Structure formats: structure tokens, C-alpha cells
Structure 1
Amino acid sequence: MTDMLDTPQGRRLAYQRTEGQGPGVVFLGGFRSDMQGTKAVHLQDWARARGRAFLRFDYSGHGESGGRFEDGCIGDWSEDAISAIEALTEGPQVLVGSSMGGWISLLIARSMPQRVAGLVTIAAAPDFTERGFWAGFSVDHRAALMRDGQVPVPSEYGEALVITRRLIEDGRRHLVLDQPLHLPFPVRMLQGTADEDVPVSWSQDLLHHVTGPDIRLTLVKGADHRFSTPDCLRLIPDSVEALIQKVSE
């Protein structure tokens, strides 16, 4: 059953929560995705079968939540995630961040590490507004973005993406690869080698950039960005389970 949360910023978020034992698991979705995605549903089914607390939600402008996607930015969606964790969970959580959710999970880890028991990323895309969109824009695209406040970008996932100047400028205020980032909890990073949206080199850059006592990167040969084959889907809860066992020792 989907419920709604009103955040301190005045945004209205749709969420589904499964009661259970801690540490709980929070799924953080990707750019333009929602909590009905294959990975989120699979992880909730796993959590329910094991009596594990679980939370999935839609950022503002995504899925069933209020607001327009084009009005949002990384800072807003990070605030949404923090509000959901603070209001709907208790104690440290294992964060599972997919694509943009990987970036947001790192922002959460930086701002409130006491609420993070462990971190699993799936094709994490930290700083993608700068490393992906802005870096890939031509001089004309950049000029149009600054002049008009937005530019359309073709997408293989459906209608064109509208990239806004606010998204780019706000992204620069939330970069994580431009300063030291310590992760004092176990981290498991998952990445497909056939991912055409998030290069393998990004996961390797992240691995080399962060510091912490227990950080591992697993590359799955042939897996794409969706990371939703049966083998990939099994790997996600297996990674979560390993972290929970680690922090419970």
C-alpha cells in the first residue's frame, strides 16, 4: 500500500514501507525512475520474506510523488531522501542506491553517517550532472542551456529528457568526487561491464576516491545499466545480507 509523506520542505512523497527488524534497508532509485522498478520491488519482496524493515519511495517529481520532474535537482532529491529516512525509519539503515541513488546515498553518508549501517551501490553515478551531461554538451548546447534555462536531450528510455540550468548548477553544489569522502561502514559497489549509461571507469574512480575500512567493487561481465537479470537481482540482496551480517557481528 502506498502512503504519503509531507516533508519539511513542503514536498509530498509517495512511499511503501515494510515493518521488520533492523537494521532496515532503504532503496534509493535513479534519475527519472520510481519505486515500482524491478530492483526496488525485488528487494522489498526479499525483505518481507526475511522480516527485514524496508523502505522505498519516489523523489519529488518522480512516480507517484508530487511536483514536476523538471523542477527538481540533486539537492531537492537528497533532501527528500533524508526526510524519508528521518521520518520513516529508526536507527542505522543499509542504503541501496541505484545510479543517481548511488550519488544521493553518498550525500546521505556525508551528512548523517550515524544513520548509515552499510551501503550497496548499483551503477553509482556520483556527479553525473557534471561528468555526464555538462561534459557531454557541445558549446552550442551549453550556450542554449545558460540562455534558455533548459535543453532537451534524447533518451533511449522514452521521450526526450529536459535538462535544466538549475539541475546543472545545483549539481555543482553537491559534488562528492571533488573532496575527501570517508565511509566508515561496509560498502559493496556493483557495476555491469556493458553499462552504456554509467561507464565502468566511474565505479573504479569512486572506489579509488573513497576511504573506509571495508569497501569492495564487484564487476559483472555483460550486465547493462538496468542490472535486472536474475543473476544481477540475486546479487543485490546477497550483498545487503552480507553487510547486515557484517554489522551484526
Structure 2
Amino acid sequence: MSEYLDTPQGRRLAYHRSTGRGPWVVFCGGLKSDMEGSKALHLEAWAQREGRAFLRFDYSGHGESSGAFTDGCIGDWHEDTLAAVDALTEGPVLPVGSSMGGWQALLLARARPGRIAGMVTIAAAPDFTEDGYWAGFSDAQKVQLESVGHVELPSDYMEPYVITRRLIEDGRTRLVLRSPLRLPFPVRFLQGTDDTAVPVATAVRLLDHAEGPDMRLTLVKDADHRFSDETCLDVIETALEDVLERAGA
């Protein structure tokens, strides 16, 4: 059974929390994903076997949490992440961010720099509202976004995404690849070469842009954006254990 957190912004977030030794491993899911996905559940099972503290949660407009997806934006989900971390964990945290959750992990590190012990990202998609959606829109789509307030985009993985003007405009205030991005802790970026949602070039750009003493990018040949078959789940687990070891945890 999920538990629920009422945030300072008046949203209600569903979560599952497993106590154990720190740092807290916090799974940050992707756009339109939820905390019942295979990666989140696999890591929860790993944490429980290892006696590790673990948190998974649904952003507002996702899964069991309150609100509609089309009402949300990167900033709202950043507020949700901060609320969950602040209220439900203590001490150092190690975010594991998948796709949009990778962007959220980076925003978390910027907002709570003193609490981050390390980071793992999986097909991280920083700045995707600008570099993916807006950059890929036709002139007609840009006009529609301005006049109607949203456009629909097909997805390889689920029903079409409804992209709102608020999502695009708010995303511009949350960009992390246009200014210094300091990650002074162990970081492992994971990426599949057959990912049609987030290209390898994005992972390389993130690696090149970020500053830190211990960053590595691992490419898994033929892995797609889901990054959730047995091989990929093992890669995630290994990366997480590596970061924990290097963080002295």
C-alpha cells in the first residue's frame, strides 16, 4: 500500500519508503512514468536485500499522486522531488534518475548540494523541453502551442504526449546545460545506444558539460530507452554499488 505526502504546494504524492542504512537511494522516474516500473521495483528489492534506505514516489500528475499530467511542468515536479526528499529522508541522499528523472536528479543536486552523496542517471534527459521538444517543433507546431496552448507528440513507448506551453516555458527556467553544472561526488551516467527518445549525443553532452572529479558514462549496446531488461538492470545495480563504494557508504 502506498503512503501519501501532502506537499507545501498543496499536492498529494504517493510513495513507498524502506528504512535502512544510508545514504538514502531515491528513485526519480521519467516523464509519464510511475513508481511501479521495473527499474524502481528492482532497486527497491535490491535495497531491501542490502538493508539500504530507499524511496520511490510519484510526481504530481503521475501514478497514484494527485493532479493531472497536463497541468504539470518541470518546476512542479522539482518541487515534488524536494518535498519528498526533505520530508521522507534524512542525511545524505543518492538520487537515481531515469530520463526526465535524470534532469530532476541534477536539479536536486543544484538545490540541495550539501546532501548529495552520489548520483546515477539512466538515459538522462536534461533540458529536453528546449533541446528536444521546442527545437524539434515545426513552425506550425510552435504557432499551435502559442494559440491553442498544447501540441500532441507521438511516443514510441506509450500514448501520445500532450506538450503544453507551460511545460516549455517553465522548462526554460530550469535548464542545466547552459550554466556551470558542478557534481562534486561520484556520478555514473548510463545510456543505451538504441535509445530513440534520448540520443547518445545527449549523454555525451552531459558528460562533457558537467564538472566533477569522478564521472563516467557507460554505453550499453542495443539497449533502448526503457533500459530495463535483465542486463540493463544489472548495469544499474553495479553502477549504484560502485557509487556507494566510492562515496564511502
> TM-score when scaled to structure 1?
0.98
1:178 equivalenced with 2:178 (yes/no) = yes
1:72 equivalent in structure 2: 72
2:160 equivalent in structure 1: 160
Where does 1:31-42 land on structure 2 (aligned, <5 Å)? 31-42=31-42
1:55 equivalent in structure 2: 55
1:136 equivalent in structure 2: 136
1: CA distance between counterparts of 2:234 and 2:201? 24
Q: State the Cα deviation string for residues 143-202 of structure 1 (Å, max 9, x = none).
A: 000111111112233322111000000000000001011101110000000101000000
2: CA distance between counterparts of 1:155 and 1:193? 18
Task: Name the stretch that deviates more: 232-241 or 98-107.
Answer: 232-241
1: CA distance between counterparts of 2:13 and 2:176? 25
Equivalent residue letter for 1:109: A
Structure 1 runs not aligned, ≥5 long: none
**Percent of residue pairs bearing the same amino acid type:** 63
Structure 2 runs not aligned, ≥5 long: none
Count of aligned pairs: 249
2:228 equivalent in structure 1: 228
Equivalent residue letter for 2:137: F
- List, as ranges, runs of 4+ consecutive aligned residues in structure 1 with deviation greater than 3 Å: none
Structure 1 position 45, deviation (Å): 0.3
Equivalent residue letter for 1:129: T
Q: State the Cα deviation string for residues 29-60 of structure 1 (Å, max 9, x = none).
A: 00000000000000000000010000000000
1: CA distance between counterparts of 2:224 and 2:205? 19
Q: State the Cα deviation string for residues 102-128 of structure 1 (Å, max 9, x = none).
A: 001001111111111000000000000
Equivalent residue letter for 1:147: S
Structure 1 position 235, deviation (Å): 1.1
What's the C-alpha RMSD, in Å, of the aligned pairs? 0.8
SS at match of 2:236: helix
Q: State the Cα deviation string for residues 181-225 of structure 1 (Å, max 9, x = none).
A: 110111000000010100000000000000011011001111110
